Structure 1
C-alpha cells in the first residue's frame, strides 16, 4: 500500500489544528494542497478517514484506528530525522560509559545526569563493572570512557582525577567474640570467611587484599558483600563511603592496626590515549575535568 509521510503529516495536522486552513498554515502549504493530500490518501487506502459533516473535522472509526498507527510512524520518522541532523553535525548518537565498583555512585550518576541534560539526543549506555572489568572494556574499545581507578603509569590511558576513595577492612562485632579488632593478625583471620568480589573481566587479573589459603565467599557487587559482612557471615575490605554509617554506629568494626591497613585509591575518568573523540565525548571529558577542579 503506497502512501507518503507528507500525507500522514497532513492528516495529523488537520486533526491537531482542527481545520484544513489551520493545517495549511502549520505546514506552510496551501489549503488545496492539504485537501488534495488527504483525498489521495483516502483513495489509496479505500477508507474514509475524516468526517467532514461537522464544523470541526473529526475522525471516522476507521480513521481513528489508522491515525493511531500513523502517529507512531510519524514519531519514528521525526526521531530518524533528528538522528540525521545529529550525524550531519558530527555528534555521536551513542556514548558508552563504564562505572567501576569502588566509585561513589551518587556522585558519578549526578555528574552524568547534569551533562546529558544538555545533550538529550545522545543515548547513554551505562554499565557497571568490578575490579578489572572497566579496564578490559576500555582497552577493547567497548567503552568510550570509564570512571574507576587505574594504573596511572600506564601510557595507554589518559585520565583526570575525580575523587579519592578509601578502602577499609571491616568485620561484624559478633565474629570477634570480644577480642579487639586491632589484635587480629592475618593468621588469626584465616579462621574466618573472607568475602571477596568476583572480577567481571573476561580475563581476571590480580586479587586485592586476599589472604591466601583462607576460606572465601565470592559475590558480584559491593552491596551484597556489605550485606554478608553485616550479617557476620564473613569479613572483607569495603569502600569507606559505603560503610561509614555502620562504623559510626558500631554495626561494623575496623580491623585497621598493625596487621591491616586502609588503602587510598584515586577514582578517575579515563579514556584511551590518542584516540579520536567526537564532540559529545569531548564535551563529557571537559565536563568531568571541570568537576574535578
Structure 2
C-alpha cells in the first residue's frame, strides 16, 4: 500500500467508471484495474463493488476511503507547506500586542496575511505593560505593537515605526473616592488611598513614574483584567487604557481621575517594532507594510 494506490482509489471513488478514472490520472484502464486489485489483496477485503453499471465502494471500502482521505489531505498540506517554505516564507510568526493598544484597526491585516499565507502558523499574544517589547528584546517574538517612549531608543535593539496612539487614564471607583473627606482636587489627596501598580519589570521601566505622585500603599497587579477587577472592587486607583474601561466609564462604575497636577490622560505613540538583528520573512514583511502604510493613510 502506498500513496499512489490511495490516489487511484480517490479517483475511482470520484468517477463512474475505471475508464473515467484512468483519463483523470492519465493512466490506462488495465493499469488502474491491476492497482485496485493489488490494493484489495493487501487490505484483505473487497473495496469496489463491480456488480453494477457504475462503480460503487463497498461498505468496508467506504470506511477505508474515509481514512485514506485524511492521509491524502495531509499529503497535500505537506506539499503546500514544502512549497511555501522553499520560497523563504516563515513556518510560524509570533506577534505580540501590548494590552494598552486598541487592536481592532490592526486585525484586518492579520486576516489578509492568514488568507495569503495559510501555511504560516500565526501566534498572537496580548501582553501586560511593555512585556511585548521585553519579548522582542530577547527575540521571543517577531513583531511587537506597543506604547513607545523615547527612552527605549537607548536600548539599541529596536527598530520602531509609529502606527498609532495610546490613551491611558488614571481611574478609580466611586466607592474608593468616597473615602476621601473632600472632593478630589489635588493629587496629594490620592496619597491616602491605595494605588494599583503593574507587577512588571519589563525593560526596567516603571510606568508608575509617569505620574507625579505614588501612594504609600501599593498593590501589585500582573495583568489588565485583574487590574480592572481590583479597581471595581475598590482596592485602589490605577491606570488602564481607555479602550479597556470604555464600558465602565460609560456606566459610571469607574471614574477618570483629574486634578490640577494631572489634568488629563497620558497619551503617546504606538509603535510597530522589530528587532534590529532579525530579518523579516514574507509574512512579517507583509504585515509591516500593511500597518505602516495604514498609518500614512490615516495621518
Interval containing the TM-score (normalised by the shorter chain): 0.7 to 0.9
Q: Is residue 284 of structure 1 aligned with residue 287 of structure 2? A: yes
Distance 1:215 1:276, change over 3 A: closer
Secondary structure at 1:98 match in 2? strand
Deviates more, 1:253-262 or 1:281-290: 253-262
* Residues 161 and 267 in structure 1, CA contact (< 8 A), matched pair in contact too: yes
Aligned length: 286
Alignment of 1:175-194 (within 5 A): 175-177=176-178, 179-181=182-184, 183-186=185-188, 188-194=189-195
Task: Give the conservation status (yes or no) of the 8 Å contact 1:195–1:219.
Answer: no
Q: 1:54 aligns with which of 40, 52, 55?
A: 52
Match of 2:235 in 1: 233
Distance (whole Å) between structure 1 residues aligned to residue 85 and residue 218 of structure 2: 54
**CA distance, structure 1, for counterparts of residue 226 and residue 139 of structure 2:** 29
Q: Structure 1: where are the runs of 5+ without partners?
A: none
Shift of 1:269: 1.0
Q: What is the root-mean-square deviation of aligned Cα atoms in Å?
A: 2.3
Give 3-state SS (helix, strand or coil) of 1:17's partner.
coil
Could you tell me the TM-score, scaled by structure 2's length?
A: 0.86
Distance 2:204 2:23 in 1: 65
Deviations 1:144-193 (A, max 9, x none): 11111234424321122111011111111222227433x1434x324333
SS of the equivalent of 2:118 reads coil
In structure 1, what is the Cα distance between the partners aligned to 2:158 and 2:144? 10
8 Å contact 1:190–1:215 — kept in the other structure? Answer: no
- Asked whether 1:79 is paired with 2:82, we answer no
CA distance in 2, matches of 1:95, 1:130: 20
CA 1:82–1:32: 2 relative to 1, 3 Å: same
Q: Give the superposition deviation at 1:82.
A: 0.4
TM-score normalised by L of structure 1 = 0.87
More helix by share: 2
Q: Secondary structure at the match of 1:55?
A: coil
Is contact 2:195–2:215 with CA below 8 Å preserved after alignment? no
What are structure 2's unaligned runs of at least 5 residues? Answer: none
